[in-house]
């Protein structure tokens, strides 16, 4: 079933018969969606990514039986986590790549606004200093602190360009919201985009054979896919840039996301996020394989960095 496509006057989604080999992903994002066991078996055999989402957050996926063959890589991943020096090195590189990409976004944004050009360039310079400081960190916790400091500066710059009617003040994570409250529309758009990014990074981690729960920048804890969140960091600025572009071009679309319920607005955000991720899917897989190689061979890891 293809979400968002109307059939007649009832607003029903269209149905189509598709061969498993013609599918890339099956995403269950609508409550009440169903699939037969035989269809899921066919999807698994064809290597189709099957993901269940709740409020645009991936919560479960179909795991192929072959996933258990990666024990050697899991051991290397755990050894690296247990080494304070190696963990700090990878954490610094992940944080550094994200902060670098945020700086590139700030430079890009400075070209969009004559009024805010110099403010954005100053923020980009400050963020650049944080990138340079990462060469001297000795723990993953220090890398996380640097990432948080850069984020504070970065979102200050983003706020300058988000249309004021959208009510964006700063980045609000889901868990930081008071119970029962909703994010502003721009944060809602980011949440949807990040949810699709999480799905894509999680998929790459499974395909390469890494353990999604053993991360380096984000401290592992029960139920937390720390490695997924690690690798997401390097690619979040891609989503940021596209959501900012949409907010400036079509603020009325973003405004309809106040409760993340408007179908037209959600579909537009999904379309843009998926197009962006399709363009960078090979980059995501490349980075995941690069990390796996670094863990197995105990070599340096190099993060994903945008060019000017």
Phi and psi, residue 53, nearest 5°: -125, 145
Q: 50: which strand partners? A: 26
Asked if residue 244 lies in contact with residue 213, where contact means CB atoms within 8 angstroms, the answer is: no
| 75 belongs to an annotated ligand binding site | no
- Distance of alpha carbon 85 from alpha carbon 133, whole angstroms: 17
User: How far is it between the farthest Cα atoms of the chain?
Assistant: 62
User: Residue 232: in which H helix or E strand, if any?
Assistant: helix 226-249
Of the candidates 114, 111, 135, the residue with the CA atom closest to the CA atom of residue 124: 111
d(CA 148, CA 170): 13
Provide the phi-psi class of 259: left if phi over 0, else alpha when psi is between -120 and 50, else beta.
Answer: alpha
Q: Report yes or no: 132 and 141 within 8 Å, Cβ to Cβ.
A: no
Q: How many Cβ atoms from other residues are within 10 Å of residue 302's Cβ?
A: 13
* CA 242 centroid distance within chain: 13
> Would you say 147 is a known binding-site residue?
yes
Check whether 263 is labelled as a binding-site residue.
no
- What's the number of CA atoms in the CB half-sphere (13 Å) around residue 75? 5
Report the binding-site residues for Mn(2+). 147, 218, 233
Report the binding-site residues. 147, 218, 233
């Amino acid at each position: 079933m293809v979400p968002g496509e109307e059939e007649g006057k009832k607003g029903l989604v269209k149905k189509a018969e598709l061969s498993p080999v013609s599918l890339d992903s099956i995403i269950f994002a609508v409550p009440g969606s169903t699939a037969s066991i035989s269809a899921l078996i066919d999807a698994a055999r064809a290597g189709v990514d099957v993901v269940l989402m709740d409020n645009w957050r991936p919560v479960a996926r179909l795991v192929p039986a072959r996933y258990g063959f990666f024990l050697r890589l899991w051991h290397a991943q755990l050894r690296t986590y247990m080494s304070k020096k190696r963990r700090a090195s990878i954490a610094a590189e992940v944080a550094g790549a994200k902060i670098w990409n945020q700086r590139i976004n700030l430079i890009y944004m400075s070209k969009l606004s004559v009024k805010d050009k110099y403010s954005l360039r100053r923020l980009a310079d400050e963020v650049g200093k944080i990138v340079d400081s990462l060469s001297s960190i000795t723990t993953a916790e220090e890398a996380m602190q640097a990432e948080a400091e850069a984020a504070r500066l970065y979102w200050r710059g983003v706020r300058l360009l988000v249309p004021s009617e959208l009510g964006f003040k700063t980045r609000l994570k889901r868990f930081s919201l008071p119970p029962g409250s909703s994010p502003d529309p721009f944060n809602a758009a980011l949440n949807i985009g990040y949810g699709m990014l999480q799905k894509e990074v999680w998929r790459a981690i499974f395909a390469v054979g890494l353990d999604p729960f053993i991360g380096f920048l984000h401290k592992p804890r029960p139920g937390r896919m720390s490695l997924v969140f690690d690798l997401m960091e390097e690619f979040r600025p891609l989503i940021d840039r596209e959501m900012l572009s949409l907010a400036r071009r079509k603020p009325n679309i973003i405004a309809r996301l106040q409760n993340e319920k408007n179908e037209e607005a959600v579909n537009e955000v999904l379309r843009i996020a998926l197009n962006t991720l399709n363009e960078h899917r090979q980059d995501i897989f490349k980075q995941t394989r690069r990390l796996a190689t670094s863990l197995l061979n105990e070599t340096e890891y190099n993060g994903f960095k945008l060019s000017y």
